[in-house]
Amino acid sequence: MIRSFQSVFKIPELKKRIIFTLLVLVVYRIGGHVPIPGVNPDALLSYFNQVGGGGLFGLYDMFAGGAFSRATVFALGIMPYISASIIIQLLGAVMPFFQKLQKEGEEGRKKITQYTRYGTVLISALQAYGVSVFLASIPPTSEGIPVVISSGIGFTLTSILVLTSGTILIMWLGEQITERGIGNGVSLIIFIGIIARFPNALISEYQQFASGNRELLSEVILLAIMVVIIASVVAITQGMRKIPVQYAKRVVGRKIYGGQNTHIPLRVNTAGVMPIIFAQSIMFVPQTLTTFFPNSEFMNTVQLYFSFTALPYQIVYALLIVFFTYFYTAIAFNPVDVADNMKKHGGFIPGVRPGKKTAEFIDNILTRVTLPGSIFLAFIAIFPYMIVQTTNVSYDYASFFGGTSLLIIVGVALDTLQQLESHLLMRHYDGFMKGGKIRGRRS
């Protein structure tokens, strides 16, 4: 492993890509500490310390690497771009116009990228307006210090301009990493934002232990649970069911084509982290509505039942994740298209008739394989909340025991290692895995 990392820096092109990626990530982290005009960072931090990190804005702050709780120029993070990408992807499944663009190759991809950028600007502006209203509505601290120094139309317009520009800059930085660096730029930006929170969470937990609020045995047990959970997430992320496929021999002129044996890889977790993001978006709706009606007794009851520590919240949340896992898998993998492509190229599954029967066979296996994956995703999503309730640790520390944070960390790490290994093997160096092959989420 150490020799493989040394080999990485022996390849000039790969070395430049890694250095470029690191420099861009440093720029992103610096921007995450520059506050927007008119906001008192200390008063805002005091407010978030009071309300905790697992509420409505906890997810946004996680994706933004803590920039949201500091109200910096990168407070919105990359979430508007992700939301626009998801919307465009969903439209591609239901609207013929976007379906046509998806089949036009490179030109269609460029147009989809352009529409995604337009959508990012629109979503960023709307979210920036909401953030400005939210910041202006925060009550002063106990010392009477306001969060927003001077609220009004000037602060609102400035916030919209600064936050939208910050998101566009992050989007551009992510595209630069993808093009000139190593790994997927957007994923790495989210990854580094999540990882940046881990040292503070670890220090906070150590302070609890040093002050006598935690026992050594409980800390060891928590670390052991974290290792087991991470290993399980890696296993599920890498896990797949291989369907054997054979291709008949074809004679074209003097050449013989086909006659090979291969397989169709059906992943246990085809949907990745998307079901959790979809489910969280839905579960945020009741909490969002309660903020508009703070004096309503009915809304206060809704907020009580849909608090992230409440059992009804966790049950509905888990069921939504199972549903969206099947929903997103159906969008990402189409058995009918796979069966048609196999039939066109003379491929068949042993013992299964080509065409409709093959599509039904693949769909049946995919349905059964997805079930344990969806249940595992639901468990991983609610496990941090269980840790908070049973051990009384902070939400920031518990978020690394599962949920969106851990899935993104594992997935992005595997993707990046896969790209590094591809560069090493292409130049005849040993990869990171001598006894096997690292499989990224899209391999």
Is residue 246 over pLDDT 50?
yes
Tokens of 102: 């998806």
Listed by start position, the domains of the chain span 1-196, 212-401
Confirm if 63 and 93 have CB atoms less than 8 A apart. no
Mean pLDDT of 10-17: 83
Instruction: Please report which confidence band the pLDDT of residue 226 belongs to, taking 50, 70 and 90 as the band edges.
Output: confident
User: Which residues are CB-contacts of 201 (< 8 A; sequence separation ≥ 6)?
Assistant: 394, 396, 397, 399, 400
Q: Tell me which CATH homologous superfamily contains domain 212-401.
A: SecY subunit domain (1.10.3370.10)
Output the average pLDDT for the chain: 81
Is residue 54 over pLDDT 60?
no
Is residue 443 over pLDDT 50?
no
Helix (H, G, I), strand (E, B) or coil at 331: helix
CA distance 332 to 271: 7
Give the per-residue pLDDT at 166.
92
Is residue 143 over pLDDT 70?
yes
Which of 18-22, 111-115, 398-402 is predicted with the least confidence, judged by mean pLDDT? 398-402
In the CATH hierarchy, which fold is given to the domain comprising 1-196?
Preprotein translocase SecY subunit (1.10.3370)
Q: Do domains 1-196 and 212-401 have the same CATH topology?
A: yes
End-to-end CA distance of the chain: give it in Å, rounded: 22
User: Which residues are CB-contacts of 441 (< 8 A; sequence separation ≥ 6)?
Assistant: 237, 272, 411, 414, 415
Is residue 343 over pLDDT 90?
no
> What are the phi and psi torsion angles at 64 (to 5°)?
-90, 5
* Alpha helix segments (H runs only) across 255-310: 274-292, 297-305
* Alpha helix segments (H runs only) across 293-402: 297-305, 311-332, 335-344, 356-391, 395-398
CA distance 351 to 361: 10
In tens, the pLDDT along 270-286 reads: 887 778 777 876 777 77
CA distance 319 to 271: 15
In tens, the pLDDT along 191-218 reads: 888 888 888 888 888 888 888 777 888 8
Give the per-residue pLDDT at 96.
83
In tens, the pLDDT along 284-316 reads: 777 667 766 667 777 778 777 777 777 888 888
Instruction: Please report which confidence band the pLDDT of residue 52 belongs to, taking 50, 70 and 90 as the band edges.
Output: low
Is residue 57 over pLDDT 70?
no
Is residue 141 over pLDDT 70?
yes
Give the per-residue pLDDT at 385.
81
Among 395, 376, 392, 373, residue whose Cα is nearest residue 384: 395
